A and B are shown apart, each in its own frame.
Chain A
Amino acid sequence: EVQLVESGGGLVQPGGSLRLSCAASGFTFSGYWMHWVRQAPGKGLVWFSRINSDGSTTTYADSVKGRFTISRDDAKNTLDLQMNSLRVEDTAVYYCARGVSWGVDYWGQGTLVTVSP
């Protein structure tokens, strides 16, 4: 069974940093692109980052470019997201998702990040 479990969310002050992780199991992690998607309270889904299967290519939405870094450790089957210079508008539930054929198929349960003074 495919499972994705995010961790690392919490409360952080504006300008602070946080590192999220997504533990993958039930599939060959190294063979898949992985994505991060977020959802602000009461708002819609927003795609913001992807990493390819070997970690050589990463892409970001303009809203997080230069502040967030996506990475993967295929030995540990984990996807990470380093978030720096956090802003109030980064407050959201953060989901990791497995890529499939230019979409995503499996989702984690999400982890809440709250950026507040």
Chain B
Amino acid sequence: QTVVTQEPSFSVSPGGTVTLTCDWSSGSVSTNYYPSWYQQTPGQTPRTLIYSTNIRSSGVPDRFSGSILGNKAALTITGAQADDESDYYCMLYIGSGSWVFGGGTRLTVL
């Protein structure tokens, strides 16, 4: 079974930096999985932050950045703000025209 794993929860202080990760049960995540990242406040539509590992979507501030760290995809948020408090989802392209989302990370800013 294909499983994409994210930290269930994370907290960061206002102004701080946090890195969320996205792991793949079948091995290392590389750019070949085209990791993307999405932000969703409960009850709202998802918002695309990053696609193709590190390309910021239109209008996304450069406080958000994507990368590969070791064998995982990573989303780093610098200068955390109160309105960054959301759920964050990664998505991987796993080949054969299929994609899989991770279970999401609930980020608390406090």
Q: What residues make up the interface of A, taking CB atoms closer than 8 Å to B? A: 35, 37, 44-47, 50, 57, 59, 61, 95, 100-110
* Complex Cα–Cα for A59 and B96 (A): 8
Residues of A within 8 A of B99 (CB): 35, 47, 50
Shortest distance from the beta carbon of A97 to any chain B beta carbon, whole Å:
8
Q: How far is the CA of A11 from the CA of B97 in the complex (A)?
A: 30
Q: Report the stretch among B9-17, B19-27, B47-55, B76-84 that lies at the interface.
A: B47-55
Contact A103 B104 (CB under 8 A): no
The reply to whether B97 and A59 contact each other, CB–CB distance below 8 Å, is: yes
Tell me the number of A-to-B contacts counted with CB atoms below 8 Å: 65
In the complex, B28 has a CB within 8 A of chain A = no
Contact yes or no, A44 B45, CB < 8 A = no
A59 to B97, CA, bound (A): 6
Least CB distance from B1 to A in Å reads 10
Chain A residue contacts of B52, Cβ below 8 A: 100-103
The answer to whether B71 has its CB under 8 Å from any CB of chain A is no
Number of interface residues of B (CB under 8 A): 26
Cβ of B41 under 8 Å from chain A: no
Chain A contact residues, majority secondary structure = strand
Q: Hey, which chain B residues are within 8 Å of A105, CB to CB?
A: 48, 51, 57-58
Contact B45 A108, beta carbon cutoff 8 Å: yes
Asked whether B29 is an interface residue with its Cβ less than 8 Å from the other chain, the reply is no
Q: Chain A residue with minimal CB distance to B98?
A: A59
